[in-house]
Structures are given as C-alpha cells and as structure tokens.
Amino acid sequence: MVGKINSLRAIPKIDDLLKDDKMIAATTAHGNAVVVDCARACVNKLRDQLLSRTQIEPFDEEQLLAEIETQIRQETQLHLRPVINGTGIILHTNLGRAVLSEAAAQAAYEVATNYSTLEYDWITGERGSRYSHVDFLLEKLCGCEAAMVVNNNAAAVLLVLSTMAKNKEVVISRGELVEIGGSFRVPEVMAQSGAILVEVGSTNKTKKADYVKAIVSDKTGALLKVHTSNYKIMGFTEAVSLAELAEIGKNNNIPVIYDLGSGGFFKLAESLLGDEPNVFESMKSGADIICFSGDKLLGGPQAGIIIGNKKYIEAMKKNPLTRALRVDKMTLAALEATLRLYLDTEKAQKEIPLLSQLSITKEMLFEKAQKFVALLKQFSSLTTEIVEENGQVGGGAMPNQMIPSVCVILKVNGLSANALDQKFNQAEIPIIGRIRKDQYLLDMRTIKSREFEMISKTIEKLLV
C-alpha cells in the first residue's frame, strides 16, 4: 500500500485508510465519526494541494496517515489542559494562577464525583449553609468575626460595595483607583455596585484630613482602601494607613472596607512575601470588612474571600447579588482543604505549591538545573547553559520584587529562540518558557522535577 502518491487517482479511499492499524486504534479510542472526519479533511487537503500545484510533489501514504493522526489528536485533546510553566512567574494569570495542593485537588475531586454535605447539616439533618465549611477556618486563621466566599475577588468587591454603600458615597484616595488585569477597575466596579465614588487627595499623596473633609454624615456609606497590588508609587508619596483610616471610620461611625486583593495570607510567609500586607495584620488594624483572592498569595482555588464584621457579612448573605456570585462546591472543597493545611504552618509551606515554590533556595534551584541539564546531555544537537535570572511572583502581586532564580538556556541547532518557543508551545503538553536577548530560557522555580522527562520527550520528537 505504501507508495508515492503523485496523481489524484492514487489517493487512497477513506475506507482503505481506515483499515490501517493506527486508524483502527484511533477508532477504538475516539469513535468512528471523528476518525472519518479527520481522514476526510486530510484527504481533501491533499487533493487541493495536488490540484493547485503545477508540479506535483510526491506524497506517501505513511505521511498522509501521520497527518490524519495529528489531526485526530488535535480534535480530541482537551482544549483546557495542563502546560509546563517555565516562565518563572509563580502566579501566572494566563496559566491559571495558583496551582492547587494535592489535598485541595483531591477534596474537589471527591465532592465533584459524589453527593456532598454542600448545604446539608448532617448533625441536625436539616438544611445547612455552603459557607459553613470554611467560615470557622477563616475565623480562626484570620482572626475575624465572620466570613463568606464568592466566585472571585472582583465579585467580592462588588458585593461588599453593593451591600454596604449602595446609593451612598464611598471615599477613596486618588492613588488607589487601580486597574487589575484589564477588566477590573475600581471606579467601574464602584459604578456597577451603585455606590458613588468620591475621590480624595492626589495620585501620590493623600492625607488623613482629605478623608475627614469628604465625610458627610448621612451621605457617606464607607471609606475604601484598595491595596495597589500591581504597582508601586515611589518617591514623594504619602498614604493613610489602614489603622489610621479605621480610626477615622470609628470616630465618624462609618465602616472601613479594605480590598486587599493579593495580600499575603499568613505570618510565616512574611519572610517570603516582602512587604506585602498580610490578612491577619490587616484585620487587627481595625477594618470592618476585608476581601481578597483565593488564588493569589493564598495559593488556593479562584475565590473571593470576605471577612470581618458579622453584621455586614450577614447582610451580604441576604443580598440577592450573592446568588449570582455564588461559589461552587468544588471551589469550596478545595478552599477548605487549603485552609486546613494552613492550620499547620509547616505543612502549609511544604504542601501548598505557591509557598513551596516561593521558598526554594537558589542552591536547590541550581541542583534542579544540573539534573535537567544532565538529562538533556543525550541530545547532541542541543546545547544548554545554566544562568542566574530573576523571576516574579506575578498575578498582580509584589510588582517591584524580583525573586532570584535559576534558568536553563536551551539552544537547538538550526532553530532560533522564537522558532523553539513556537514548537514548544504547540507540543502535546505545551511548554511555556521565556525569551531574553534572543535566548530561550526555562526557569527552574516553576517547573516540577517530574516534568523534566516530559520536556525531554518533546525535544526528542522535535529533533527527529
């Protein structure tokens, strides 16, 4: 059967192609319809190519079958699937932010594949609350009076403002009217919530008196502080601290809301998280309500966590918006498991990928790089070099803090850095690296050791 196809008549019939062992295996795995569709598409493409060319190129059947196989793989693989993160950015927004711990993933799997106690109180046999699975943990870990969870932090800010300040004025510093990730802008979320924005101070300086002057007793609904997670103002600056703002709030009987966004979750991480504000400390500063993301520096699933004064949390639970922003059972399961890890700080640091990645030392990274390079020695057309580089936390957190890291430069004979990047992107398990000064780099901090073998396999395929 195998031979050069150099005329239209020589193109095999679909039925004959399907008799090939590889096609039979593909049919067993994926069903007849997709295999026939892919075979037809590839045959049509070949026919068009033969028709449109003056000079007919030889094309053999093995090649046609390989193309059909590739097409079948592309059609049947999941669109949302794992990649290997070689960027060194731990919370990469485009690559799904925080990687869950095994415990969190397992908990999500269990409630996804079974009925669960989502809204069932197994002690009384009555209807329960979906927030009851995490609120006691948050109260313990954050030192708050009450807590609830919604879909993400953007939803949290919307719900908080809508509940506490609808049709009322919310006072915020001009230095904190931030945009996070393109679609979350504080002024726009404020408008959606029905609260009225009152800007005070200037971009670089806001003083206590600015807030005090803006307060009008029956018009002001809240004072809002937003953590400028993804940028820093340096130099001639002045800001009012959360504790100072809380004091102004208390003196005027107006609640203080803090959108912490990506704040560090617990104290142990302070050494790793630089000067990022911390949830526990922020709660102690006297804010009435604090909200933050579950999948940033907490290292859990996407979620918006709201903690603080019980009176306000209870009102939020009754807000009709809550139903639209509701958190689902898999998220709650993963969040509960993540929070339980934090009850034992050593365990948290070992098992929550964000924290373990942050705490890998440079020596450990060098060791990892050497193992990787040793594995790649088998490829003669590949050269490697270990270099020190800077990585970042990402996810709109710690913008000016670089984390020293170790990278491996990969150079494949005859391929530019861009070409290698493109090929790696299109691999069965895409490998995402970074290019610096025309060199292709893989950062050891965000690559798992068990992924080395997968990368090696991809290189092997690419070089043949």
Ligand X SMILES: *Cc1c(COP(=O)(O)O)cnc(C)c1O
The count of chain residues that interact with ligand X, using the rule CB under 6 A, is 15
Binding-site member from 43, 171, 184, 421 for ligand X (CB under 6 A): 184
Using CB atoms within 10 Å of the CB of residue 3, give its burial: 0 to 12 exposed, 13 to 18 middle, 19+ buried. Answer: exposed
Q: Please, which residue, 146 or 149, has the CB nearer to ligand X? A: 149
Q: Which is nearer to ligand X, 241 or 426 (CB)?
A: 241
Shortest spacing between CB 285 and ligand X, in angstroms: 16
CA distances to 375, 377, 381, 398, 439 from 415, rounded to whole Å, are 20, 18, 10, 35, 11
Residue closest to 67 by CA, chosen among 33, 17, 130:
17
* Cα–Cα distance, 213 to 7 (Å, whole number): 85
Three-state SS for 374?
helix
Of the residues 130, 168, 227, 340, which one makes contact with ligand X according to CB under 6 A: 227
Among 293, 309, 357, 392, binds ligand X (CB under 6 A): 293
Q: Judged by CB, which is closer to ligand X: 139, or 179?
A: 179
Of 121-180, binders to ligand X (CB under 6 A) are: 152-154, 157, 180
Least spacing, CB of residue 103 vs ligand X, in Å = 21
Give the nearest distance from C-beta 237 to ligand X in angstroms: 18
Piece in contact with ligand X (CB under 6 A), picked from 202-210, 223-231, 416-424, 452-460: 223-231
Q: How far is CA 318 from CA 164, 312, 315, 454, in A?
A: 12, 10, 5, 49
229 versus 282: smaller Cβ distance to ligand X: 229
Residues 432-461 that bind ligand X (CB under 6 A): none
CA 5 from centre of chain: 48
Residue ranges in 49-108 that form contacts with ligand X under rule CB under 6 A: none
Q: Which single residue brings its beta carbon nearest to ligand X?
A: 261
Work out which of 23, 226, 337, 403 binds ligand X, going by CB under 6 A: 226
Q: Please tell me whether residue 259 binds ligand X under the rule CB under 6 A.
A: yes
User: Least CB distance from residue 143 to ligand X, whole Å?
Assistant: 21
Q: How far apart are CA 376 and CA 368, in angstroms?
A: 13
CA triple 381-385-391, angle to 5 deg: 130
Q: Toward ligand X, which CB reaches closer, 278 or 458? A: 278
How far, in Å, CA of 175 to CA of 225, rounded? 10
396 makes contact with ligand X (CB under 6 A) = yes
- The CA distances from residue 439 to 359, 377, 409, in Å, are 27, 19, 7
Query: By C-beta, is 249 or 304 nearer to ligand X?
Result: 304
Tell me how far CA of residue 260 lies from CA of 43, 187, 282, 297, 300, in angstroms: 56, 16, 9, 11, 16
Biggest CA pair distance of the chain = 89
153/220 with CB nearer ligand X = 153
**How many angstroms separate the Cα of 367 from the Cα of each of 89, 374, 409?**
20, 11, 15
From 46-54, 259-267, 381-389, 440-448, give the range in contact with ligand X by CB under 6 A.
259-267
Please pick, from the candidates 261, 300, 391, 394, the single residue that binds ligand X as defined by CB under 6 A: 261
Q: Is 229 or 322 the residue whose CB approaches ligand X more closely?
A: 229
**Orientation of helix 153-165 relative to helix 186-193, angle to 10°:** 50
- 383 backbone φψ class: left, alpha, beta (φ>0; ψ -120 to 50): beta
Choose the stretch contacting ligand X; rule: CB under 6 A; options: 28-36, 46-54, 254-262, 375-383.
Answer: 254-262
Residue whose CB is less far from ligand X, 96 or 128: 96
E strand spans, 233-363? 256-261, 289-293, 304-308
Please give the residue ranges that form the binding site for ligand X (CB under 6 A). Answer: 152-154, 157, 180, 184, 226-227, 229, 259, 261-262, 293, 304, 396
